[in-house]
Amino acid sequence: MTDASWIGRLAAAFEQDGLIPPLDDEIMGSAETLAERAAAVRAAVPWPLAGWKIGATGAASRRVLQTDAPFFGPVYAPRVLASGATVALPPGFLGFECEFALRLGAALPAKAGGYAPEHLRIAIDAVVLAIELVATRQQLEGMGNARRAAIDFGYNHSLVLGPALQPPPVDRLPEALVVALVDDVEVGRGHGRDVLGHPLEALAWLTRQGIDLAAGQVISTGTCTGIAKLGPGETATARFSDGDRLWGEVTFRAQA
């Protein structure tokens, strides 16, 4: 299969919510080849970028995806939804994740070594409460692995955004509690510290990956609650709090 063939098929499956047979393992190649081919896949989708997602930022996710490092993928503007949206679940839907997203108030051009967390603090305009819909475009049994996710748009389908907290409570994120619910029944919980110790560390990792981050982009830093299943007609909720103070909720409903 030529590069143009599988890249075009994967990009079309993403745009059209379709599925293709699993990509050959050889396509992933070395780490350098994987990065180049993931970039080619992203470039094949003619939609504007709204930001990025980071996956495998928690120990449990890394075990499931058989990796010792995070990966990333694009978030496209047409797939950014407002809290309360109704979504038709795609055929490769894997579940939903409750995450802190960091909205940039300043650009972070790619540079060797990335940026230190101290610099990143002043670049963050808001902490945005978010739910990521996770999906694959490949006909897989189970989750696959991180290399397969990295080339498949980071397994991102869409990002549901809720309240934007300003000034951004960056220093409170490690202790913040995040609860995932389906039809008001708890299905998972965790804290900001479950994301590489601090969601800011996830952003710092992304700045070392050789990509330009633009002002206004939203960076979803990885799940605090694991991945939760959702069926047609059900409603997902992410609830975020700091001690006794409720920061807000994000919801979406799966189309029946």
Q: Residue 32 — very low, low, confident or very high, per pLDDT cuts 50/70/90? A: confident
Tally Cβ neighbours within 10 Å of residue 161.
22
Work out whether strand 235-242 and strand 218-223 pair parallel, antiparallel, or are unpaired: unpaired
DSSP helix/strand/coil, 170: helix
Structure tokens at 63: 């075990």
Tens digits of residue pLDDT in 210-228: 999 999 999 999 999 999 9
Q: Residue 28 — very low, low, confident or very high, per pLDDT cuts 50/70/90? A: confident
Full set of structural domains in the chain with CATH? 47-254 (3.90.850.10)
Prediction pTM value: 0.96
Radius of gyration of the chain (CA): 17
What H or E segment, with its residue span, contains residue 168? none
How far is the CA of 225 from the CAs of 5, 96, 155, 179, 228, in angstroms? 37, 9, 17, 7, 8
Tens digits of residue pLDDT in 96-152: 999 999 999 999 999 999 999 889 999 999 999 999 999 999 999 999 999 999 999
* Percentage of the chain modeled with pLDDT above 90: 94
